[in-house]
């Protein structure tokens, strides 16, 4: 089951980077909870498919249409998957390029994402999971 979930996450990144909101939302359970940490987009919790749509729109509004999210590594934790990723964007006002390492933990049910907890710092995700990066097996994108 987890290998299938990793494959769904790969499609999630493809949909995000293609700005295909419909495909992105289809990968989530209708009752999904998305916990965002980015103050630029409200830094709160988004609920359901409408919430996912709002999160994606808020993120693009804050960072521009060129925002990308690149996966660096997946870690299969059974019922959860940890992903290390990098947000890449250009500042709307400054034009400066930004590359911000981050992490997310996803939970699953029936092949759909039910919960996402995003982290600005990878160490925070590892601490919350009670693991170290050294004891995890990387799955490369």
pTM of the model: 0.90
User: Which of 49, 41, 32 has the alpha carbon at shortest distance from 87?
Assistant: 41
**How far is it, in rounded angstroms, from Cα 31 to Cα 42?**
20
Per-residue model confidence as pLDDT tens digits over 115-129: 999 999 999 999 999
Question: Would you state the pLDDT for residue 61?
Answer: 78
pLDDT band at 40 (very low <50, low <70, confident <90, very high): low
Can you tell me the mean pLDDT for 45-65?
87
Chain segment 1-32, per-residue pLDDT in tens? 488 899 999 999 999 999 999 999 999 999 99
Which backbone phi and psi does 131 adopt, to 5 degrees? -135, 165
Residues 87, 14, 80: CA angle, nearest 5 degrees:
75
Residue 39 pLDDT exceeds 60: no
Q: Report all structural domains of the chain as residue ranges with CATH numbers, in order of start.
A: 2-124 (3.10.450.50)
Cα–Cα distance measured from residue 62 to residue 76, given in angstroms and rounded to the nearest whole number: 31
* Structure confidence at residue 37 (pLDDT): 81
Query: What pLDDT is stored for residue 98 in this prediction?
Result: 86
Within 8 A by CB and 6+ apart from 47, the residues are 31, 32, 33, 34
Residue 30: how many other CB atoms lie within 10 Å: 12
Distance CA 134, CA 51 (A): 35
Query: Residue 52 above 90 pLDDT?
Result: yes
pLDDT tens-digit profile of 58-99?
887 777 778 899 999 999 998 899 999 999 988 777 778 889
């Amino acid at each position: 089951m987890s290998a299938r979930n990793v494959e769904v996450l790969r499609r999630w990144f493809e949909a995000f980077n293609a700005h295909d909101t419909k495909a992105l939302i289809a990968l989530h359970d209708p009752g999904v909870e998305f916990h965002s940490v980015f103050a630029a987009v409200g830094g709160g919790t988004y609920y359901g498919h409408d919430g996912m749509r709002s999160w994606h729109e808020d993120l693009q509004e804050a960072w521009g249409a060129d925002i990308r999210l690149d996966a660096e590594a997946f870690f299969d934790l059974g019922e959860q998957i940890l992903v290390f990723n990098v947000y890449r964007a250009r500042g709307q006002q400054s034009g400066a390029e930004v590359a911000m390492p981050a992490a997310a933990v996803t939970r699953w049910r029936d092949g759909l994402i039910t919960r996402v907890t995003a982290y600005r710092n990878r160490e925070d995700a590892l601490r919350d999971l009670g693991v170290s990066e050294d004891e995890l097996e990387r799955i490369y994108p």
